[in-house]
């Protein structure tokens, strides 16, 4: 099973994708999932999308990046990822809300470049 870490604007590993679909924080909390290129919370809220190794928020601002991310703002040095806690049980997926039109991608970091990305 592939684990793909994502880092915030300070280079801190914030979340990871498990099994190419589910998104967890390093404390083991499940916070969302991928549906194609789109990112949703388990309550069905549309959070943003993935492109070129980046998580973009609803306004098109880059929030988190992977090791191989291309484009976007200047990336900081990546810190070592912390140990992953045991994964908690995933909640059921609620119906997904309709996605708004994708805004243009920004080259400026989102204010949600941390766990808050999943609480928007």
Who contacts 56 (Cβ-Cβ below 8 Å, separation ≥6)? 48, 49, 50, 62, 63, 105, 110
Q: What is the mean pLDDT of residues 32-44?
A: 97
Give the whole-angstrom CA distance, residue 9 versus residue 85: 22
Q: What is the pLDDT of residue 4?
A: 84
Q: What is the mean pLDDT of residues 11-34?
A: 96
Every domain of the chain and the residues it spans: 3-119
Provide the 10 A C-beta neighbour count for residue 51: 17
Is the entire prediction scored with pTM above 0.85? yes
33: which 2 tokens? 């999932």
Q: What is the pLDDT of residue 53?
A: 95
Mind listing the pLDDT tens digit for each residue in 44-99? 999 999 999 999 999 999 999 999 999 999 999 999 989 999 999 999 999 999 99
71: which 2 tokens? 């484009």
Q: What is the pLDDT of residue 2?
A: 62
């Amino acid at each position: 099973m592939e684990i793909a870490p994502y880092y915030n604007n300070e280079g801190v590993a914030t979340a990871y994708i498990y099994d190419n679909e589910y998104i967890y924080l390093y404390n083991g909390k499940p916070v969302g999932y991928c549906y194609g290129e789109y990112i949703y919370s388990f309550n069905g809220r549309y959070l943003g999308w993935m492109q070129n190794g980046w998580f973009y928020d609803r306004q098109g601002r880059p929030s988190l990046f992977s090791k191989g991310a291309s484009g976007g703002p200047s990336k900081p040095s990546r810190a070592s990822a912390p140990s992953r806690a045991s994964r908690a049980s995933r909640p059921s997926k609620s119906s997904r809300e309709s996605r708004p039109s994708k805004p243009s991608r920004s080259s400026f970091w989102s204010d949600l470049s941390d766990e808050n990305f999943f609480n928007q």
